[in-house]
C-alpha cells in the first residue's frame, strides 16, 4: 500500500504527521519505506534525529536519493543495450521500459536497525545534498538545487517513458516494504500529480484551518476522483481520499466549530469511504491534529518511549490517523491481515471496545474465507462474549454474531449446534420486537 501525504498549502504539519505515522507503523513491526518527494523543500530525514537512528540526518544528506535515481535513469538511456549491471530485465519488460533502470535499493537508506521481528524504517531521500567526509571537491547542494530546478518533467514523460518509469517505481517500492509513505510537494505541481494521481493508493490531505486550505483540498479531490483521469492515469486502480485537519488551536472553540461547519458545507465527506469507523461525531473531528506550540520550534517525532503529558493529545491524534489509514486497506490486498494486526495494536489502549470488536470480526471473516474454521470459531466465540458485555445480551449485535457463528457451523455440517444458535438469535429478536425492544432497534 502506498499512502501519499499531500497538502494544498504549506506549514500545516504534513511531514510531521507522516514521520509520526511511520514511527508508529515501525513499532508495530512493519517494513516501512518513506519517500521524500518534496524535492524543492526536502528534509524529511530531520524528523529522525534520535538516538536509535543508525543514519542521522547528516548521514542521509550524503546519500543518493530520488533526483539521483531520475538522473541516473536518464543517463542509462544513452548507453548501448543491453546493460545488465544488477538491473532486473524482467522488471523492465513488465513495465514496458525500453531502457535499463538502476536498482531501487541503491537509493534506499535505513534509518533504524531492522527489528528481530522484521520491522524496518527506511527512506528514499530527495537526493544527495552534502559531501561525505573527505570529499570537498564538489558543491553537492548547489548541484542538487540546479538539477531540481532544471528537471523537465514534461520531457521526462514524453521522451523517457515517464509513466512506465513510475509504474516501475511503484511496483519496486511496494516490493521493498509493507507500507510506503510519500511526502508530496505542496500545491498543484508535476511532482504532486505524480505522487497523488499515479503512485498513491490513498491520498492523505492535510488541511490548515482556513478557507484557502478547504477550497484547495476540494479542488484537488475533485480532480483526483475524475472518472476520466482514473481510467487514463490509473487504469481504473482505486484511489481513496482522507482529509485531516491539522494544527487546530482547540482553545478557540468558536473558530474551531466554524471551521468544521465549513468542512461540512463543502461536502468533503462525499470523497471519503462510508465504511470508515470513527470515535466522535464525524471523521473530521476524529482525525483532528491539535496545535502544540512547542512543536512549532521542533523537527522531531514524538518520543513514544516517554511521552510528555503536554504531547498526549498530539500522540493520540497520530494513533487515530494510523488506525484510520489501516482501515483503508482493501480485503483483496496481500497486506490486509497485517493491517488488522496493526489496528489491534493501536486499539489496545486508545479505543472503545466497539472498535476492538469490529477489528476482531474482520479477522474472523478473513480466517473463514481462507478455510481456517477453528480459528474463525474461536474468534467468533470471543466476539460473542465481548458483545454481551459491551452491548448487553439482548441486542441486535449479539444476534448478528449468533447467526454468523451458526452459519459457520452449518457449513461444517454441525447442524445441531447451528440450530441451537439460530433459535437463540430468533428468541432475542422476538423479545426486541416488543415495544421497548423496538425502540432500542430504531432509536
Which tens digits make up the pLDDT trace of 378-425? 989 988 988 888 887 778 889 999 999 999 999 999 999 999 999 999
pLDDT of residue 438: 46
Cα→Cα distances 430→370, 418, 420, 427, Å: 34, 18, 15, 5
Do 303 and 405 sit in the same domain of this protein? no
pLDDT of residue 8: 93
Give dist(CA 57, CA 195) in Å, integer: 23
Do 121 and 244 sit in the same domain of this protein? yes
Whether the predicted pLDDT of 274 surpasses 60: yes
Bigger pLDDT: 96 vs 148: 148
Beta-carbon contacts of residue 261 (< 8 Å; ≥ 6 apart): none
Among 60, 66, 72, 40, smallest CA distance to 150 is for 40
Q: Is residue 223 included in any domain, yes or no?
A: yes
Do 381 and 302 sit in the same domain of this protein? no
pLDDT of residue 349: 60
Q: What does the pLDDT average to over 170-199?
A: 93
Upper half-sphere CA count for residue 79 (Cβ side, 13 Å): 14
Using the 3D structure, point to which of 315, 334, 360 is the last residue of a domain.
315
Do 227 and 372 sit in the same domain of this protein? no
CB–CB of 440/395 below 8 Å?
A: yes
Split at pLDDT 50, 70, 90, the class of 351 is: low
pLDDT of residue 190: 85
CB–CB of 304/51 below 8 Å?
A: no
Do 73 and 179 sit in the same domain of this protein? yes
Cα→Cα distances 122→30, 106, 251, Å: 11, 12, 37
Whether the predicted pLDDT of 83 surpasses 60: no
* Region for 298 from its dihedrals, namely left if φ exceeds 0, alpha if ψ lies in -120 to 50, beta otherwise: beta
Condensed to tens digits (0 to 9), the pLDDT of residues 122-139 reads 999 999 998 776 666 678
DSSP assignment string, 288-331 = PPBP-GGGGS------TTS--GGGHHHHHHHHHHHHHHHHTS-T
Give dist(CA 47, CA 33) in Å, integer: 14
Do 74 and 168 sit in the same domain of this protein? yes
Residue with cell 472498535: 355
- Kindly state the percentage of the chain with pLDDT values over 70: 90
For strand 179-183 and strand 120-124, is the pairing parallel, antiparallel, or unpaired? unpaired
Give dist(CA 182, CA 195) in Å, integer: 7
Q: Which three cell numbers stand for residue 276?
A: 470508515
Average predicted confidence (pLDDT) for the chain: 87
Whether the predicted pLDDT of 85 surpasses 50: no
Whether the predicted pLDDT of 84 surpasses 60: no
Bigger pLDDT: 92 vs 230: 230
Give dist(CA 345, CA 277) in Å, integer: 16
Q: Is residue 341 included in any domain, yes or no?
A: no
- The domain of 61 spans 2-315
For strand 2-6 and strand 202-207, is the pairing parallel, antiparallel, or unpaired? parallel
Split at pLDDT 50, 70, 90, the class of 213 is: very high
pLDDT of residue 435: 46
Do 299 and 414 sit in the same domain of this protein? no
CB–CB of 190/153 below 8 Å?
A: yes
Do 394 and 299 sit in the same domain of this protein? no
* Region for 374 from its dihedrals, namely left if φ exceeds 0, alpha if ψ lies in -120 to 50, beta otherwise: alpha
Q: Where are the alpha helices (DSSP H) in 53-139?
A: 57-60, 66-76, 89-94
Q: Is residue 329 included in any domain, yes or no?
A: no
145, 149, 153, 154: CA torsion to nearest 10: -160
pLDDT of residue 17: 96
Q: Is residue 69 included in any domain, yes or no?
A: yes
Beta-carbon contacts of residue 79 (< 8 Å; ≥ 6 apart): 99, 100
pLDDT of residue 76: 87
Give dist(CA 48, CA 153) in Å, integer: 30
Question: Could you tell me the end-to-end alpha-carbon distance of the chain, in angstroms, rounded to an integer?
Answer: 39
Do 81 and 183 sit in the same domain of this protein? yes
Bigger pLDDT: 438 vs 284: 284
pLDDT of residue 442: 44
Do 267 and 139 sit in the same domain of this protein? yes
Cα→Cα distances 376→364, 373, 404, Å: 5, 5, 11
For strand 109-110 and strand 120-124, is the pairing parallel, antiparallel, or unpaired? antiparallel
Bridge partners, residue 2, by sequence: 180
pLDDT of residue 281: 65
pLDDT of residue 218: 93
Condensed to tens digits (0 to 9), the pLDDT of residues 8-54 reads 999 999 999 999 999 999 998 899 999 999 999 999 999 999 999 99
- Lowest model confidence (mean pLDDT) among 175-179, 293-297, 343-347: 343-347
Q: Is residue 423 included in any domain, yes or no?
A: yes
Do 282 and 419 sit in the same domain of this protein? no
The distance of Cα 68 from the centroid of its chain, to the nearest Å, equals 26
pLDDT of residue 137: 63
pLDDT of residue 133: 67
Q: For helices 211-224 and 253-265, what crossing angle results, to 10°? A: 30
pLDDT of residue 437: 45
Q: Which three cell numbers stand for residue 340?
A: 488488522
| CATH number for the domain harbouring residue 375 | 1.25.40
- Lowest model confidence (mean pLDDT) among 69-73, 92-96, 387-391: 92-96
Q: Is residue 111 included in any domain, yes or no?
A: yes
Q: Is residue 10 included in any domain, yes or no?
A: yes
Split at pLDDT 50, 70, 90, the class of 436 is: low
| CATH number for the domain harbouring residue 189 | 3.40.50.300
Using the 3D structure, point to which of 315, 339, 360 is the last residue of a domain.
315
pLDDT of residue 440: 46
Split at pLDDT 50, 70, 90, the class of 298 is: confident
Do 6 and 137 sit in the same domain of this protein? yes
Beta-carbon contacts of residue 371 (< 8 Å; ≥ 6 apart): none
Q: Is residue 30 included in any domain, yes or no?
A: yes
Radius of gyration (C-alpha) of the chain in whole angstroms: 25
The three-state secondary structure class of 32 is: strand
Q: Which three cell numbers stand for residue 387?
A: 458483545
Whether the predicted pLDDT of 116 surpasses 80: yes
- How many structural domains compose the chain? 2
Give dist(CA 408, CA 214) in Å, integer: 47
- Lowest model confidence (mean pLDDT) among 83-92, 107-116, 206-215, 258-267: 83-92
Asked whether the CA dihedral 109, 114, 118, 119 is positive or negative, the reply is negative
Amino acid at each position: 500500500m502506498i499512502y501519499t501525504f499531500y497538502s494544498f498549502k504549506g506549514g500545516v504539519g504534513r511531514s510531521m504527521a507522516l514521520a509520526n505515522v511511520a514511527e508508529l507503523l515501525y513499532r508495530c513491526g512493519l517494513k516501512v519505506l518513506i519517500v521524500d518527494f518534496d524535492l524543492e523543500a526536502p528534509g524529511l530525514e530531520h524528523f529522525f534525529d534520535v538516538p536509535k537512528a543508525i543514519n542521522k540526518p547528516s548521514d542521509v544528506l550524503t546519500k543518493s536519493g530520488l533526483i539521483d535515481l531520475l538522473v541516473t535513469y536518464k543517463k542509462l538511456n544513452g548507453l548501448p543495450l543491453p546493460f545488465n549491471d544488477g538491473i532486473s530485465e524482467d522488471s523492465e519488460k513488465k513495465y514496458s521500459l525500453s531502457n535499463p533502470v538502476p536498482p531501487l535499493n541503491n537509493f534506499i537508506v535505513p534509518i533504524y536497525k531492522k527489528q528481530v521481528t522484521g520491522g524496518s524504517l527506511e527512506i528514499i531521500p530527495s537526493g544527495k545534498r552534502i559531501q561525505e567526509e573527505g570529499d570537498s571537491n564538489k558543491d553537492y547542494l548547489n548541484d542538487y538545487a540546479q538539477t531540481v530546478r532544471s528537471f523537465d518533467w514534461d520531457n521526462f514523460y514524453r521522451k523517457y517513458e515517464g509513466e512506465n518509469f513510475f509504474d516501475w517505481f511503484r511496483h519496486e517500492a511496494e516490493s521493498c516494504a509493507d507500507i510506503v509513505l510519500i511526502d508530496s510537494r505542496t500545491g498543484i505541481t508535476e511532482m504532486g500529480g505524480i505522487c497523488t494521481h499515479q503512485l498513491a493508493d490513498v491520498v492523505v490531505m492535510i488541511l490548515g484551518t482556513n478557507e484557502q486550505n478547504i477550497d484547495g483540498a476540494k479542488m484537488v479531490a475533485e480532480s483526483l476522483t475524475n472518472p476520466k483521469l482514473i481510467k487514463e492515469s490509473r487504469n481504473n486502480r482505486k484511489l481513496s481520499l482522507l482529509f485531516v485537519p491539522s494544527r487546530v488551536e482547540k482553545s478557540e472553540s468558536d473558530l474551531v466549530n466554524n471551521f468544521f461547519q465549513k468542512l461540512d458545507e463543502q461536502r468533503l465527506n462525499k470523497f471519503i469511504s462510508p465504511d470508515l469507523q470513527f470515535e466522535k461525531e464525524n471523521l473530521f473531528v476524529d482525525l483532528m491534529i491539535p496545535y502544540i506550540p512547542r512543536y512549532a520550534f521542533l523537527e522531531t517525532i514524538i518520543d513514544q518511549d516517554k511521552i510528555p503529558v503536554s504531547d498526549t493529545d498530539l500522540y493520540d491524534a497520530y494513533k487515530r490517523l494510523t488506525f484510520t489509514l489501516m482501515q483503508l486497506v482493501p480485503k483483496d490486498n496481500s497486506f490486509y491481515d497485517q493491517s488488522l494486526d496493526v489496528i489491534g495494536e493501536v486499539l489496545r489502549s486508545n479505543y472503545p471496545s466497539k472498535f476492538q470488536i469490529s477489528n476482531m470480526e474482520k479477522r474472523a471473516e478473513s480466517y473463514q474465507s481462507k478455510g481456517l474454521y477453528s480459528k474463525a470459531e474461536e474468534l467468533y466465540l470471543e466476539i460473542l462474549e465481548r458483545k454481551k458485555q459491551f452491548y448487553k445480551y439482548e441486542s441486535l449485535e449479539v444476534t448478528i454474531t449468533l447467526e454468523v457463528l451458526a452459519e459457520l457451523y452449518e457449513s461444517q455440517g454441525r447442524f445441531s449446534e447451528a440450530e441451537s444458535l439460530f433459535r437463540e438469535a430468533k428468541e432475542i429478536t422476538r423479545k426486541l420486537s416488543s415495544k421497548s425492544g423496538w425502540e432500542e432497534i430504531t432509536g
